[in-house]
Amino acid sequence: MRDTFTLITVILAGVGLLYFGSIGAGPYWQIVALNLAMWIALTQSWSLFSGLTGYISLGHAVAYGLGAYMMATLFSEWPIWVLVPMGGLVAGVFALIVALPVLRVRGPYFVILSFGLSELVKYVLLVVETALGQSSRLLFGAPGTQTLLVWMLALAAVATLLRHVIGLSRFGQGLVAIREDETAAETIGIPITRYKVLAFALSTVIPGMVGAVMALRSTYFEVLQVFSPTISFTIVTIAIIGGAGDARGPVLGAVFLIALSETLRGVSPQLYLVFLGLSLIFFVRFVPNGLTGLLRGGGR
């Protein structure tokens, strides 16, 4: 309980710092803050399912993409405050529908299947968009970075809090038992299928909303770009670097990634990717529990 209270304080401080700090520092820093908040929101949500259950999803780009698609197609008809939640809803409902068949496989099979599903959705939508005669969509009159930053910070804050609260709940403990040993978990009374499906669907809602907001940021929608597997891979990279054991990991991982990209991207984009790859190998090999694992080890 005191833990949760501390976390809320930290979240509020972080949100305040990012908002007022970046507003004061200028447009470049607003975009950095927006990206940081975006990765935090995405990775916290992912960790809610993959971190707790151990089912590593490489398909969360679908949630992001569906949210963005909602926004791109209906932007001129409906207000943003309807479309952002709707992006989350559509992503969640889609996850619910595919969850039962997809969650029947575990381990590497699930990883591959989630990735394949994400590619499948991408190319189906590409066909649909082509048939509609839309190679891309433009969004005119989207709000400025400052408004989007407010949305994104709110999403990051809610995702962080949700990850923390669920991690401590009975539901979260059940998910951890599933990660440890699914057969033993169901034998001691955990309704594993219901829990997995629920966690999977829940973990896609905020990414759907993030996608919707990001469509407004780029004011341009193209299927291949929005359903890009890079989004899924980056989420996993952040989780590996930061650690997925609690709500701190995704924050630390996202800060690391943004710091690295902002330092090196200006110098050379290739160099950024090289360093990202190197850090990934380094963390997998030497810091398997990520930056939070280091914190925990150091505290002892």
Partner 1 sequence: MSLLDIQNLTKTFGGIKALDAVELYVEEGSVHGLMGANGAGKTTLFSIVAGNQSLTSGTISFAGTRIDGKRPDQICHAGIARTFQIVRPFSGMTVRQNVEIAVLFGRKQTPVRGEIAGITDEILTQCGLIGLSDQSSGTLTLATRKRLEVARALGTDPKLLMLDEVMAGLTPTEVDDMITALLTLKDRMGLTILIIEHVMSALNRMSDCITVLHHGQLIAHGTAKTISANPAIAEAYFGTDDGDEETD
- Name the site residues for partner 1 (rule: CB under 8 A): 170, 173-174, 176-177, 179-181, 183-193
CB of 274 to partner 1, least distance (A): 34
Q: What separation in angstroms does the CA of 163 have from each of 89, 94, 166, 177, 271? A: 18, 21, 5, 17, 33
Task: Take residue 292 and report the two structure tokens written for it.
Answer: 């939070």
Please, which residue, 119 or 182, has the CB nearer to partner 1? 182
CA atoms of 285 and 55, how far apart (whole Å): 20
CB of residue 189 vs partner 1: minimum separation in angstroms? 4
Query: What count of other Cβ atoms lies within 10 Å of the Cβ of residue 162?
Result: 18
Tell me the CA distances in angstroms from 167 to 33, 48, 89, one per residue in order. Answer: 26, 8, 22
Min dist CB 107 to partner 1, Å, is 16
Q: What does the angle CA 168 – CA 253 – CA 162 come to, to the nearest 5 degrees?
A: 30
Nearer to partner 1, 179 or 296 (CB): 179
CB 31 within 8 Å of CB 38 = no
Q: Minimum CB separation from partner 1 for residue 296, in Å?
A: 13
- 3-class DSSP string for 159-215: HHHHHHHHHHCHHHHHHHHHHHCHHHHHHCCCCHHHHHHHHHHHHHHHHHHHHHHHH
Question: Which is nearer to partner 1, 185 or 258 (by Cβ)?
Answer: 185
Nearer to partner 1, 176 or 260 (CB): 176
Tokens 């594993």 sit at which residue?
192
Dihedral sign, CA of 104, 285, 37, 162?
Answer: positive
Q: Residue 190 Cβ, how far from partner 1 at the closest point, in Å?
A: 5
Q: 191 or 277, CB closer to partner 1?
A: 191
> What is the spatial distance between Cα 56 and Cα 111, in angstroms, rounded to a whole number?
6
Q: How far is the CB of 292 from partner 1 (least distance, A)?
A: 15
Q: Contact 116/230 with Cβ under 8 angstroms?
A: no
Cβ(64)–Cβ(234) below 8 Å: no
Q: Which of 289, 33, 3 is nearest to 161 (CA)?
A: 3
Cβ closest to partner 1, residue 219 vs residue 289: 289
Please state the closest distance from residue 99 (CB atom) to partner 1, in A: 17
In the bound state with partner 1, the residue whose beta carbon lies nearer, of 186 and 222, is 186
Query: Given the complex with partner 1, which of 3 and 180 has the nearer CB atom?
Result: 180
Task: Report in angstroms how near the CB of residue 60 gets to partner 1 at its nearest.
Answer: 24
Using DSSP's 3-state secondary structure scheme, residue 221 falls into: strand
